[in-house]
Amino acid sequence: MLGRLAIRQIPRYYTVSSRLINNSHQLSLRNVPAIRRLALVGLRRPFHSSANLLHRTASAEHGMATCGNPAPAFKFERLPTNAEPTHYDVRLSPCLNQFSFEGLATVDVTIKEATDVLKVHAQSLLIQSVSLVANSGDAPKKLDTTYDDKLNILSIKLPSVLQPQRVQLIFKFIGELNDKMRGFYRSQYKDKDGSEKFLASTQFESTYARLAFPCFDEPIYKATFDVTLEVDSHLTALSNMNVISETPTTDGKRKVVKFATTPKMSSYLVAFAVGELEYISTKTNSGVEMRVYTVPGKKEQGQYSLDLSAKCIDWYNEWFDIPYPLPKCDLIAIPDFSMGAMENWGLVTYREIALLVDPGVTSTRQKSRVALVVAHELAHLWFGNLVTMKWWTDLWLKEGFASFMEYMFVGANCPEFKIWLHFLNDELASGMGLDGLRNSHPIEVEIDNPNELDEIYDSITYAKSNSVNRMLCYYLSEPVFQKGLRIYLKKFQYSNAVTQDLWSALSEASGQNVNELMSGWTQQMGFPVLNVSQRQDGNNRVLTVEQRRFISDGGEDPKNSLWQVPITVSVGSAPSDVKARFLLKEKQQEFVVEGVAPGEWVKLNSGTTGFYRVEYSDEMLTAMLPDIASRKMPVLDRFGLINDLSALLNTGRVSIAQFVQVAASSANEDEYVVWGAIDEGMSKLLACSREMSEETLKSAKQLIVKMFEKTGAELGFAEQSGEDSQKMMLRALVQARLARAGHQPTIDKFNQMFTDFLEKGTPIHPDIRLATFGVVARSTGKEGFDKLMNLRETTTFQEIERQAMIAMSQTPEQPLLAQLFEYGFEKNKVRPQDQLYLFLGTGSTHMGQQYAWQYFCEHIKEFLEKYGGANSSLFQRCLKFAGESFGNEKRAVEFQDFFCNCKDLTDTDRQTLARPIGQTVEAIRLNARLLEANRSIIENLLKQSNL
Ligand code: BES
Ligand code: ZN
């Protein structure tokens, strides 16, 4: 077991600082979100043979059949284009006691080509009748239907061939308020008296509007919607638009709430919410009514998001130069929510933890995440809602841009978070972590069957797209980038677009061929590493730069991919300036940087704005070390350099000893993010050492104590006045590392803080709380475990609940872990949306890893059932967590074989899961590889360190 290789990035709302969770033993490959179809082929030869590597590459990249069997021949079909909806009138009458709803949907359809059949999506609905009105005023005529349950398509037989014309389809149906967090579903919570309550809300993206009413459920079919909800009188009913009327039913028990007509929009953006809700409200400067809705008792925790969202709407109005078109925008916190948040137009839904903040209790990291999530969803109101991708292949057009805009907004409006520093780790490094795998996929990813969709909401679609946008923004300059986006949004508003349309708009704004520059980044998977060497020529420095695809295992790129790489250069005499700019187009090119003194260092990728890594000659790297040590080199560059080195560890091109040397020269480092990059390398050292021998592990720990001790002593545990928001996070990181390295005084101090908190009520600073819980769980056995369990049971605050759970999952004692899993999964004491946290800390011990894997294997059937199938992203995350910390070939094979032979999976499931499985297997092999490449290096390093 080599610790967490985190392939599937836990999306941001989920994340706790991953560093604080597993960091000691993790080989973080970081953040791999869900994935797509890929090979599970053979791969049984010994790890080292390079022939095997090529074989693996070829099969992985050609997406060959799974488990040696040909993939099932299921032919996916989209709706035919002979008809399109223009308007829907949707009336739903949900019953929160019976978990069901009755519905009536009238759809105005334009027939564009003569046809005798119309097709719409519907799923898990009991269709009572379908009728047609061909000419207004005619009596509705009942029609026959057939249903394809693989495609979720209802085919409606028309009475005769109808010529192009407008018709109305009327559907009467009954649906279920399910508990799978998709479609129109129910959430459960306890009110203040402890009694069980339900609310109903929706999650329609990507393909779940069809669970609530029959519709043309593809993003291209934009229409207007009139929504009417009939609900119990004491409940609040919400939808995308403002209420235009509320009428009691004749018996007075229910009320009929009608909402204004929406703008033209795609079906996945429709939303409803019904329940006992309370709210706080404000108005934007532009006059939009903003509200935050919660279940009773929590509305005050919405204040932070409410204020920020109002500011955000005004800021985007200006930035995009298009005013938000609806009169209102509600943000609602939903107790059961599978994703982080969802950008329904006018009714944005969030999981509670992604929206609600308690100023004294929420950690800085979590608060900044709330700011990012709020800004992300509101950016979608333009990128996604106003302009929508034609098909899911271009999903990045909304997710990548909403992700970039969230940083633009938070960077400009919440300077206290220093968010661009975090961007590097959370986005750039995360995107590269996944994209360095052979089982990655291009940003523009072919989507055939939307069943594959959940798994492309991943670090490629989010973090890589985001980073590539940032790179382009720097390359074109922000004003030009903004101008291009404004052109794009205006041109395609209330309509749909493809990636090429965006490049055209940016080309128009910049006068450059943006398509030529960018298509390599969005159409090829992977990214380049630049190999640089130099020679001095008088007063000039001549750089030789060669590009090749960065692959985490250090192997060959079967495709010989090339990118157009925007290169910036900075030099020792002016570290913060961009001294020169080049565009690398060929495999290898020479560039001359003028006016560089001999001996002066030269660094590429100034400000780490590019989505590529750089590998320097020894001479070039050594020249930079003094300015890393003195922090004369800017922080974004220090991070980039160290993170590149840490990534190169797995390729075998940089050794752990070289990394430790650079880390040692960073003894005066004072920035949290840079320490994070150093710490990650240290966790790789520990992970490998643990596999070697007890003795080696002990020495490695001693080395780490030696390296971190001074900083730990200087930082102490308590917040000092005048510190910035990063200091407490740094303190938590360094002290947690010392504790994991077995530094007893640090462990004692953490345990004391926990005891004082429980016994005397002495508060633990929110930013060091998870670190504290973790130490307690790892070092105090059943006693600490029980206290954490009690805390989880009694706290009403979600972040604390989650942190206690993550901490408990790091227990080194199997009976306690078994107790935790039983509590969370079998007794269902943990909401399904949060159950993946139980896997999160298990990678920190061999026992935990083994337990989690075995548990997953034994309970896969229940997992599939609970999360709604193999395409559920929650299911896929559990799958990855269950395996990715393993570190040897045997485990890689075992992992793969399990899915090939598992009786609870269908061939379609196997197809859906091929990429997540492929990525996890690759991650396990990378762990193994790191160890083998560094065994003797580590032995020597530890011998020479005079411990
Ligand atoms: N549109 C997504 C939500 C979504 C994701 C729906 C996957 C269906 C499938 C939303 O805008 C989003 O991106 N949410 C993120 C949080 C965000 C801050 C990155 C999420 O839920 O992970
Ligand atoms: Zn999004």
* Closest atom of ligand 1 to CA, residue 205: 8
Cα-to-centroid distance, 312 and ligand 2 (Å): 16
Report whether the peptide linkage leading into residue 561 is cis, meaning its omega lies within 30 degrees of zero.
no
Rounded to whole angstroms, the Cα distance separating 433 from 603 reads 22
The Cα–Cα gap between 40 and 792 comes to: 39
Which residue's alpha carbon is nearest to atom 10 within ligand 1? 342
What pLDDT score was predicted for residue 452?
72
Q: Which residue CA neighbors atom 6 of ligand 1 most closely?
A: 205
The pLDDT of residue 72: 58
Is residue 689 within 8 A of residue 697, CB to CB? The reply is yes
Among protein residues, the one with the nearest Cα to ligand 1's atom 15 is: 340
How confident is the model at residue 463, as a pLDDT? Answer: 97
Spatial contact of 763 and 755, defined as CB atoms under 8 Å apart: no
Which ligand gives the minimal distance to the CA of 205? Answer: 1
At residue 379, the pLDDT reads: 98
Q: How far is the CA of 160 from the centre of ligand 2 (A)?
A: 43
Tell me if 19 sits within 8 A of 430, measured CB to CB.
no
- Spacing, Cα 378 to ligand 2 middle (Å): 9
Which ligand neighbours the alpha carbon of 219 most closely?
Answer: 1
User: Rounded to the nearest 10 degrees, what angle do helices 766-779 and 364-380 cross at?
Assistant: 120
Ligand 1: residue whose CA is nearest its atom 18: 373
Residue 759's alpha-carbon distances to 452, 804, 808, in angstroms, are 50, 17, 20
Q: Which ligand minimizes its atom distance to the CA of 462?
A: 1
Q: Give the pLDDT means over successive 10-residue stretches in the chain (947 positions).
A: 38 43 33 24 23 28 48 80 98 98 98 98 97 93 95 96 97 97 96 94 97 98 98 98 98 97 98 98 98 97 98 98 98 96 98 96 97 98 98 96 98 97 96 95 87 84 98 98 98 98 98 98 98 97 98 91 98 97 98 97 98 95 94 97 91 85 88 94 90 93 94 96 95 97 98 98 97 98 98 92 96 98 95 93 92 97 93 92 93 96 93 92 93 91 84
Using alpha carbons only, what angle is made at residue 297 by residues 296 and 298, rounded to the nearest 5 degrees?
A: 100
Residues in contact with ligand 1 by the CB-under-6-Å rule are 11-13, 205-206, 339-343, 372-373, 376-377, 380, 399, 402, 457, 462
The 10 Å Cβ neighbour count of residue 300 is 14
Taking alpha carbons only, the member of 289, 277, 303 closest to residue 346 is 289
**Cα separation, 738 vs 782, whole angstroms:** 22
Beta-strand relationship, 289-294 and 278-283 = antiparallel
434 C-alpha vs ligand 2 centroid, how far in Å? Answer: 18
Nearest residue (CA) to ligand 1, atom 16: 340
Starting at the edge strand found earlier in the chain, the sheet holding 144-148 runs 115-121, 153-162, 144-148
Q: How many whole angstroms from 383 Cα to the centroid of ligand 1? A: 13
> 944 Cβ partners below 8 Å, 6+ apart?
none
CA 399 to ligand 2 centroid distance, Å: 5
Type and span of the H or E element at 184: strand 183-190
Site to substitute for ligand 1 among 457, 464, 867, 875, most atoms within 8 A of C-beta: 457
Question: Which ligand 1 atom sits nearest the alpha carbon of residue 351?
Answer: 21
Please report the atom of ligand 1 found closest to the CA of residue 403.
19
Domains of the chain as residue ranges with CATH:
77-273 (2.60.40.1730), 277-525 (1.10.390.10), 527-654 (2.60.40.1910), 812-934 (1.25.50.20)
Task: Determine which one of 377, 427, 444, 669 is catalytic.
Answer: 377
CA-369 nearest atom, ligand 1: 18
Give the per-residue pLDDT at 917: 95
Query: What is the C-alpha to C-alpha distance for residues 199 and 334, in angstroms, rounded to an integer?
Result: 8
Pocket test for ligand 1, best of 14, 203, 269, 342 (most atoms within 8 A of CB): 342
Ion ligand 2 residues within 5 Å by Cβ: 399, 402
Distance, CA of 166 to chain centre? 42
d(CA 370, ligand 1 centre) in Å: 13
* Nearest partner of 471 among 461, 486, 484, 481, judged by Cα: 481
Distances (CA, A) of 698 to 321, 689, 742, 942, 947: 60, 8, 9, 10, 10
376 marked as binding residue: yes
Annotation says 377 is catalytic: yes
Q: Which atom of ligand 1 is nearest to the CA of 377?
A: 11
pLDDT of res. 615: 95
Q: What pLDDT score was predicted for residue 28?
A: 30
Contact residues for 243 (Cβ-Cβ < 8 A; gap 6+): 237, 257, 258, 259, 260
What pLDDT score was predicted for residue 61? 38
